[in-house]
């Protein structure tokens, strides 16, 4: 993933800077609205990633809420804003 010429941004996970594709999709259902932040990363760059770990993207601190490997070497991280 290229942070200089692509859609990726740098994220800080543990002590590593890793490129991720970050999205904060806006959702609305039954009159309730929220954003659903997710980050797409390369599995090899996040060995031993686990739920509950901290990740910082664009100066905002998140907690990894769910981990969804896609079987192609990528992993989708469901995030929630850290308290």
What pLDDT band is residue 28 in, cutting at 50, 70 and 90? low
Q: pLDDT digits over 52-78, tens only?
A: 999 999 999 999 999 999 999 999 999
What pLDDT band is residue 4 in, cutting at 50, 70 and 90? confident
Residues 6 or more apart whose Cβ sits within 8 Å of residue 58: 9, 22
**pLDDT tops 70 at residue 33:** no
2-30: average pLDDT: 85
Nearest to 54 by CA among 26, 22, 12: 12
Q: Which of 24-28, 29-33, 64-68 has the highest mean pLDDT?
A: 64-68
DSSP state, residue 45: G
Nearest to 74 by CA among 15, 5, 18, 14: 18
């Amino acid at each position: 993933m290229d942070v200089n010429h692509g859609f990726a941004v740098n994220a800080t996970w543990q002590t590593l800077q890793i490129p991720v594709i970050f999205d904060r999709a806006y959702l609305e259902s039954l009159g309730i609205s929220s954003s659903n932040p997710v980050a797409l990363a390369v599995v090899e760059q996040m060995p031993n990633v686990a739920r509950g770990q901290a990740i910082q993207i664009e100066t905002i601190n998140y907690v990894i809420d769910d981990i969804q490997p896609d079987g192609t070497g990528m992993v989708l991280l469901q995030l929630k804003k850290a308290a």
